[in-house]
Amino acid sequence: MNDPGRPEKRASDLVLAVFRGIGQIFFQGNALTGVLFLVGVTLGAPLEGLGLVLGAMIGTLTAWLCRFDKDELLDGLYGFNSALVGIATFFFFQLSAASAVLLVVGCVAVHAGKILLCRRAIEPRLGFWTLPAGFMEMGESLAAAAIRETREEACAEVTMQGLLASVNVLSAGQVHVFFRAALAEASFAAGSETLEVELVSPADIPWSRLAFTSNRIALEQYLLQEASGRRYVWTGNSI
């Protein structure tokens, strides 16, 4: 008899949770439903199929690493939203050099309850405040891009803690992806594209001086999810 605590048992549970997450797109917490949907998508569009399974894996593994409710995790409730983000990303943006300049990645980096903000030293929106973020480069993952941008703009080292939001910026034809992140130490400085960097409490966020709507959405989602105690990947549109 297998021991539920053994690594192979945990791995099989996570694999089933990934497929249940795909099945939850149809409100079916059934791994077979997820497998059948994945097969159908992959036969018609292989890249979208890849995005579907990668998204479900990222959402499920993030929930597992963050020790979310085990029953909800195994039912796939943390995989379906990120699965939709994955399939949408591969549908709208093919893997190419052009796609890299349409994908902006950043993070809400937090230290002792305060959020890291940068004041821009370049156009557009010179002098306005922003989350550390920038264009993804070829050959790097989403998380690696967020870490690099935070290092370049705020001279800070952060640890990614899972996806927070994916914002379709319709007017720019871009997707802005934001992670949760932890800033272990209050060590930061202005980079070459930044006038100043500050850790601000939620009550002191300069809402009227934020550079981009996607930043406002990411911050609102972070605060809302922290207040509710539930974490998920928000997806939606912005002008």
pLDDT at 95 over 70: no
Mean pLDDT (the chain, rounded): 89
Q: Where in the chain are the domains?
A: 7-92, 97-238
Tokens read off for 179: 């992670």
pLDDT of residue 97: 52
Average pLDDT over residues 205-224: 97
Q: Which residues pair with 181 in a beta bridge?
A: 109, 160
pLDDT of 19:
94
From 8-17, 48-57, 160-169, 212-221, the region with the lowest mean pLDDT: 8-17
State residue 87's pLDDT score.
84
Map residue 203 onto helix, strand or coil. helix
Token reading at 39: 């097969």
CB neighbours (10 Å) of residue 97?
8
Question: What's the CA gap between 105 and 137, in Å, rounded?
Answer: 10
Instruction: Reply yes or no on domain 97-238 having CATH 3.90.79.10.
Output: yes
Task: Give, in degrees to the nearest 5, the angle at Cα 45 between 44 and 51.
Answer: 135
Residue 11 is predicted with a pLDDT of 81
CA 151-155-159 angle, to 5 degrees, is: 50
| Closest CA relative to residue 51, chosen from 40, 38, 60, 62 | 38
For residues 174 and 103, is the Cβ–Cβ distance under 8 A? yes
Predicted pLDDT of residue 93: 59
Q: How confident is the model at residue 1 (pLDDT cuts 50, 70, 90)?
A: very low
